[in-house]
Amino acid sequence: MTALLRKTVLTAIFFITTMGSALAEDVLMPFVLAYKTSGDVSAVASEVKGKLSGAGFEVAGEYSPYSDAHIIVVTNDAMKAHAAKSEFGAYGAAQRVSVTKNGDAVEVVYTNPVYMAAAYRMAGDMADIRAQLEGALGADMDFGSEKNLTAKKLRKYHYTVMMEYFDDPSELAEYDSQAEAIKAVEAALAAGKGATSKIYRIDIPGKDESVFGVALKGADADDCSGDKFVMSRVDRATPRSTAHLPYEMVVSDGTAYALYARFRIAINWPHLPMVAAPEGQGTFFKIMCSPGAIEEALIQAAGEEP
C-alpha cells in the first residue's frame, strides 16, 4: 500500500468513526407532538387533563395566554425527586402541555423531559417522565429544532457568542430568608406587579427551593415582555411551540432567579435565525426588546423594582 493510499484509507476510517460516534448520541428535540385532533380548545384541554390525571400527574396550574391556546402544567413526585437531586433542579420540576388551535387542527404538545433535563443540567435524564407522558398522551413526533443537539451539547448550550448559558441567570431579588422571599413573590404576583400573574408554585422536597410559573401578560399590546408579543413573532411554524410558556422564576435560599431570556427563549427555538428568515417564519430580531423587558417584569414579580 502506497503512503498516499494509506493516508486516504486512514482519513476515511477517521470520518466514518466520527460520524458513527455522533449518530450513536441521540439528537434531541424540545417538544413532542402527542397528537392532532379537532374541536374546541377548552374541550380538548379538559380531555387532556383527564388523561394526565389518570396517568398519575398532578395539574399544578393552567392558563390561556391568548386566544386558541391553553397550557396545562403538570408535576408529580418523580419529577420533584429529579429536581431535588439537581442544582437549580426546580426548573425541571414541571412539564408543560399545550393545546393549540392551528388552522383546522388542534395540536396537543408537551415539552420533552429528556431535552429539558439536559438543557437544565439535571442529574438524571428524566426518561421515566418522558415514558409517562407518552403513555398518557402518545407521541406522534418530536420537533422544534433543526440543530443536531445531543444531551452533551445541550448541557453547554448557548445561542451564540456573548449570550447567556444556563448558569448565567438573572438575579431578580434577594431576601434574608427563603420564607421572606416566598412571601414577597406571592404578594407581588397576587398584586400583578410587572403585568404578571401566578400560574403555579411547586416546592422542591428537602430543599429551600421553589419554582413559580409566571404569566407575562404585558401592560399593553406593545409591551415586549408579554407572552402574546413574543409568541406572535417567533412561534409561526407547524406544529406550534405553545408549550414554551409560561416563564419560570426559581426562589432558592432566599434569592429569586430566572433564566435569562436569551437562553430561555433560544433553548426552545435553537435554530431560529437572528435576522433573515423565510417568509412567514419568525426571527429573534423581532423580539430584540423582549429580554430586557421580561427581566424587568420578573424583577417586579419578585417584589423589587427594576
CB-based burial label for 255 (10 Å; 0-12, 13-18, 19+): middle
Average pLDDT, the chain: 92
Q: Which residues contact residue 26 at a Cβ distance below 8 angstroms, ignoring those fewer than 6 apart?
A: 150, 151
> Which pLDDT band holds residue 306 (cuts at 50, 70, 90)?
confident
pLDDT at position 157 is: 97
The predicted pLDDT at position 265 comes to 97
Query: 248-279, pLDDT tens digit by residue?
Result: 999 999 999 999 999 999 999 999 888 766 66
Could you tell me which residues come within 8 angstroms of residue 102 by beta carbon, excluding any fewer than 6 positions away?
68, 238, 239, 240
Using N-to-C axis directions, what is the helix angle for 127-137 and 41-54, rounded to 10°? 120
SS3 110: strand
CATH architecture of 27-301: 2-Layer Sandwich (3.30)
Angle between helices 178-190 and 290-301 (to 10 degrees): 110
Task: Report pLDDT for 59.
Answer: 98
* CB neighbourhood size of 39 (10 A): 11
pLDDT of residue 15: 43
Looking at residue 138, its amino acid is: G
DSSP element (H, E) containing 4:
helix 3-24
Q: Which is nearest to 92 in space by CA: 71, 123, 62, 55?
A: 123
pLDDT score recorded for residue 25: 76
Q: Which three cell numbers stand for residue 263?
A: 437562553
Handedness of CA 24, 29, 32, 33 (dihedral sign): negative
Query: What is the model's pLDDT at position 19?
Result: 46
The pLDDT confidence band at residue 14, using thresholds 50, 70 and 90, is very low
- Residue 52 confidence (pLDDT) above 50: yes
Furthest CA-CA distance within the chain = 79
Tell me, what's the pLDDT at 283? 80
Whether 231 has a pLDDT exceeding 70, the answer reads yes
**Is residue 23 pLDDT above 60, yes or no?**
no
pLDDT tens by residue, 160-216: 999 999 999 999 999 999 999 999 999 999 999 999 999 999 999 999 999 999 999
In sequence order, the 6+-apart residues with CB closer than 8 A to the CB of 103 are 238
pLDDT value of position 10:
44
For residue 236, what pLDDT is reported? 92
Burial 152-177 (b: 16+ CB within 10 A, else e): ebbeebbbeeeebbbeebbebbebee
Phi/psi at 228 (nearest 5 deg)?
Answer: -65, -40
Q: Residue 280 — pLDDT band, cuts 50, 70, 90?
A: low
Confidence check: pLDDT of 18 > 60: no
Q: What is the pLDDT of residues 55-113, one digit of tens each?
A: 999 999 999 999 999 999 999 999 999 999 999 999 999 999 999 999 999 999 999 99
C-alpha cell at 13: 476510517
Buried b (16+ CB within 10 A) or exposed e, 262-279: bbbbbbbbbebeeeebee
Whether 16 has a pLDDT exceeding 50, the answer reads no
- What pLDDT score does 299 carry? 98
Which residues have a Cβ under 8 Å from the Cβ of 227 and sit 6 or more positions away?
A: 65, 66, 215, 216, 217, 218, 245, 246, 247
Q: Give residue 83's identity as a one-letter amino acid code.
A: A
Containing 296, the helix (H) or strand (E) segment is helix 290-301
Contacts of 112 (CB under 8 A, 6+ apart): 28, 29, 30, 31, 32, 130, 142
Read off the pLDDT of residues 124-162 as tens digits, 9 standing for 90 and up: 999 999 999 999 999 999 999 999 999 999 999 999 999
The angle formed by the CA atoms of residues 254, 256 and 248, to the nearest 5 degrees, is 135
The answer on pLDDT for 225 being more than 50 is yes
